[in-house]
Amino acid sequence: MKIKPSRFLKELSLLYVEDESAVREIFYEMMKRYFKKVFVAKDGEEGLELFKKHDPDIVITDIRMPKMNGLKMVEEIKKIDSEAFVIFITAFSDSEYLKEALELGAEGYMIKPLNKHKLIEKLNHLAKMIHHKKEQQAYFELLKMLFEQYEDAIVLLENDHIKLYNQKFFNIFGALTTLEELMKKFEKPFSLDNEKEIIELSNGNVKFFEKIVKKVQDYIIITFQDITEFQNEIFIDNLTNVYNRKYLKAVLEQFFHKKICIIFFDIDNFKKINDTYGHKIGDHVLEKIAKIVKNNLRRYDKIIRWGGEEFLILLDGVDNIDIAEKIANFLRIKIIESDFGINENITCSFGVGCAMINTEKDFDVLFEKVDKALYKAKKEGKNRVKIVENGSVQDTIS
């Protein structure tokens, strides 16, 4: 059956490498009717130089040639463009080279003398592949242009590999290649199942993003809208610059189905400080204590101003009461050692507890017990740590 050349061939260029001049001329006359441009070379060295200069879409080459054979030439071409489309032409007696030819990533080979219709069939197949590849590249370039129009950070992933992102994304997260690298930029790994979710980035300065996920087959597009300014108005305590109680409500679900430890503390004799030195000094003490605690916690831990002179600490990844108790005592000593600029020893009392949290009610039960531990620390002399263990408040070394 007669095979007609594809219209896609007229969009392409061809490099043909053959050392026999008569064969080369005949082939050139035939191929120039099918391709937009045809380049010919008499050996591998000349063929390689033409490839470097013109970057043809398809390479057809003989194997046995002087100076540089077809195998060596294609090996060098693949170093330049690993996706170059290559067809080898060989005599039947050169069959020992065919394994090596295919290992180089060739699209196939043909035995001399060439069957014109089989060759055109093969070229039509490659032309269709190249056409689709160029279409994809054009769509990709268009997508890049569209991505840059976004005011928000946006990224495209394929099977957990980052394929494309805009400048805004790069400015925030840097040059990343995988979803795993992106997840590490956040306080907690975010979900790809939830379409919308408020997530938190921490790199010294806390930033909040509303994340929007869209999925199409193996592709995922994630948009990150910076809502830090808006969230700070809601979640940050104006005086101490730490989180407020609204923040706990917003993030509590992240701690469900985990054992967590919390520390609840307040400033001893704070009313006396306000009465003696005035509320301006009292505010200074609150600010400084919040700063001391924040600077001596890991960046993943959260300090929340609960109200007045009370603060709550959520310990990230700590589920052992002994470790939580040591952290509380460490903070207690740091506060004692600090200079507040007044003639007064500033101390704090602490309650500590750990529990498995599955619901908001579970957290409320834990908090109530830790609050009782704090109350006991205050009642027994202040400036000490009390822990909740096995459901009851225990004595501890302070």
Residues in the chain: 398
DSSP H or E stretch at residue 101: helix 98-103
Strands (E), the chain: 13-17, 37-41, 58-62, 85-90, 108-111, 153-158, 161-165, 196-202, 206-216, 219-226, 258-267, 302-307, 310-315, 348-357, 385-389, 392-394
The pTM score is 0.55
Q: Are 73 and 47 in contact (CB under 8 A)?
A: yes
Rg (CA), the chain: 35
User: In angstroms, how far is CA 247 from the centroid of its own chain?
Assistant: 25
Cα–Cα distance, 372 to 363 (Å, whole number) = 14
Cα–Cα distance, 42 to 51 (Å, whole number) = 13
Distance between terminal CA atoms of the chain?
A: 95
DSSP H or E stretch at residue 141: helix 116-149
Q: Which pLDDT belongs to residue 338?
A: 95
Q: Which pLDDT belongs to residue 397?
A: 43
Q: Which pLDDT belongs to residue 392?
A: 60
Q: Which pLDDT belongs to residue 91?
A: 74
Write down the H helix ranges in 211-304: 228-235, 245-251, 270-277, 279-295
Go through the domains of the chain in sequence order and give each one's CATH number: 7-139 (3.40.50.2300), 150-230 (3.30.450.20), 236-394 (3.30.70.270)
Which of 357, 381, 387, 383 lies closest to 369 in space, CA to CA? 387
Q: Which pLDDT belongs to residue 104?
A: 80
DSSP H or E stretch at residue 99: helix 98-103
pLDDT along the chain (398 residues), means of 10: 82 93 90 93 94 95 88 92 89 67 77 84 91 89 90 92 94 92 84 74 71 89 88 86 89 88 97 94 96 90 94 92 96 96 94 95 95 95 90 53
φ, ψ (nearest 5 deg) of residue 160: 70, 5
Q: Which pLDDT belongs to residue 1?
A: 60
70-80 and 44-54 are packed helices; what angle lies between their axes, rounded to 10 degrees? 20
Residues 6+ apart with CB under 8 A from 249: none
b/e sequence 226-260, b meaning 16+ C-beta within 10 Å? beeeebeeebbbeebebbbeebbebbeeebeeeeb
**CB-count exposure of residue 274 (10 Å: 0-12, 13-18, 19+):** middle
Q: Which pLDDT belongs to residue 316?
A: 84
DSSP 6: P
